[in-house]
Amino acid sequence: MTEILSPVSAPAPQKPWRHRRRDWRQAAIMTSMSLFGAWLIVVTTGLAGVLGAYVAFAIVFPIVAFLASLPYGQKTGQDRMATAVICLAFSTAFIPWVSILFTVMNKGRHAFYSGFLTTDMLVNSADDPLNVGGISHAIVGTLILISIASLIAIPLGVIAAIYIVEVKGRFAGYVRFFTQAMSGVPSIVAGLFIYTTIVVVVFNRFNALAGGLALAILMLPTVARTSEEVLKLVPDDLRAASYAMGASQFSTVFRIVLPTIRSGLITASILGVARVAGETAPLLLTSQYFVKFTTNITSGPIAALPTYIFANLGVGSANSVTRAWGGSAVLLSIVFILFILARLLGGRNIGSKR
């Protein structure tokens, strides 16, 4: 006797995106209730300022999120409680960064005029009106110093990472140890080292090359350690496939491994640049400060944005402090532009047309 099987009913298709409006509505309600609760805490406890209001909101918001989720079950309540805490942690880390950026740009904009980026301070002083003098000499000097440090530190850092991860030579442990130790060296110590060995002994004068060498010492451990961690992300199967095709270790590293992690190596380089872009102490001992536009890297002192900011702050007048804020804004802008360019270059496909 043939058994007749009943057809299996297919589950009805779900449309989870329909619940997004409800989730946003609930989030808006919880945020409004949290703001009201924070206002009550501020009024009753006397917490003052933006910081006090944020602390009150940070206390109330997770509690409101947990209580509003209780009708949906304990797990949903715990999930939304954790989501609220994570959002608060993110905002706590993000708000100071936005505050710093806004403060620098807001106070630095008063120093900008049509010739601020194209003139130097050769015939002007820090106390002069803000419609004369400029920062071109410091911008060019910063780019020169960063270029020298990058040409030295980036290749050495990548080679050190390759030796540790790919070659795994007998001294790999010592190389890792010294790169970790170098990351803790104070910047003033790097400046003193270059001052006593390069400035005094070799050139007998302050110059950009010495400043670039000091920055390279500080930049090298960041590039090496980050490149090492990026190289560890490459799967061993990729290397094994290359060896199986008859490729040597040199070809595998430089034709397979490094192109695979190109964006990671660019990120490591940018982290190194960001590490040294604002250093002032080593530059005061190596490249010093010069008010004239110059591109000679060995003949004498050269300006940089950190030393420009330091020199103007040392004067202490209203116009000089405003110039220092303007230099800070330009320095942040240069690092941001370099980061954007690096991400654009690192985001291209390996096989794209040049």
Among 109, 128, 147, where does a domain finish?
109
Identify the CATH number of the domain in which residue 301 sits.
Answer: 1.10.3720.10
Q: Confidence class of residue 1 from pLDDT cuts 50, 70 and 90?
A: very low
Domain of 342 in residue numbering reads as 136-346
Q: Torsion-angle region of residue 292: left (phi > 0), alpha (psi -120 to 50) or beta?
A: beta
Query: Do both 155 and 102 map to the same domain?
Result: no
Question: 221 pLDDT exceeds 90?
Answer: yes
Q: Closest Cα partner for 269 from 348, 193, 335?
A: 335
Q: Domain for residue 219, yes or no? A: yes
Cα dihedral across residues 330, 331, 335, 336: positive or negative: negative
Query: Do both 176 and 102 map to the same domain?
Result: no
Question: 47 pLDDT exceeds 90?
Answer: no
pLDDT tens sequence across 253-272: 889 899 888 888 988 998 89
132-138: average pLDDT: 91
Q: Closest Cα partner for 222 from 193, 265, 164, 191?
A: 265
Question: 92 pLDDT exceeds 50?
Answer: yes
Query: Do both 174 and 321 map to the same domain?
Result: yes
Distance CA 112, CA 319 (A): 12
339-345: average pLDDT: 79
Beta-carbon contacts of 115 under 8 Å, excluding residues fewer than 6 positions away, are: 132, 134
Q: Confidence class of residue 349 from pLDDT cuts 50, 70 and 90?
A: very low
Query: Do both 73 and 146 map to the same domain?
Result: no
Among 109, 125, 148, where does a domain finish?
109
Q: Domain count of the chain?
A: 2
Query: Do both 143 and 188 map to the same domain?
Result: yes
* Buried b or exposed e, range 305-336, using 16+ CB within 10 angstroms: bbbbbbbbbeeeeebbbbbbbbbbbbbbebbe
Q: Domain for residue 129, yes or no? A: no
Query: Do both 199 and 339 map to the same domain?
Result: yes
55-77: average pLDDT: 75
Among 68, 93, 109, where does a domain finish?
109
Instruction: Give the pLDDT of residue 48.
Output: 73
Question: 128 pLDDT exceeds 70?
Answer: yes
Q: Confidence class of residue 231 from pLDDT cuts 50, 70 and 90?
A: very high
Higher pLDDT, 318 or 72: 318
Q: Domain for residue 128, yes or no? A: no
Q: Domain for residue 5, yes or no? A: no
Question: 66 pLDDT exceeds 80?
Answer: no
Q: Domain for residue 4, yes or no? A: no
Query: Do both 289 and 196 map to the same domain?
Result: yes
* Lowest-confidence segment of 9-13, 159-163, 177-181, 201-205 by average pLDDT: 9-13
Q: Tell me 123's DSSP state.
A: S
Instruction: Give the pLDDT of residue 149.
Output: 94
Distance CA 151, CA 71 (A): 61
Question: 20 pLDDT exceeds 70?
Answer: no
Query: Do both 215 and 327 map to the same domain?
Result: yes
Instruction: Give the pLDDT of residue 304.
Output: 93
Q: Domain for residue 247, yes or no? A: yes
Instruction: Give the pLDDT of residue 15.
Output: 54
Distance CA 305, CA 307 (A): 6
Q: How far is CA 322 from CA 61, 186, 318, in A?
A: 39, 29, 6
Query: Do both 237 and 328 map to the same domain?
Result: yes
Query: Do both 205 and 72 map to the same domain?
Result: no
Query: Do both 176 and 272 map to the same domain?
Result: yes
Query: Do both 90 and 180 map to the same domain?
Result: no
10 Å CB burial of residue 259 (0-12, 13-18, 19+) is exposed
Q: Domain for residue 125, yes or no? A: no
Q: Domain for residue 354, yes or no? A: no
Question: What is the rounded average pLDDT for all residues in the chain?
Answer: 84
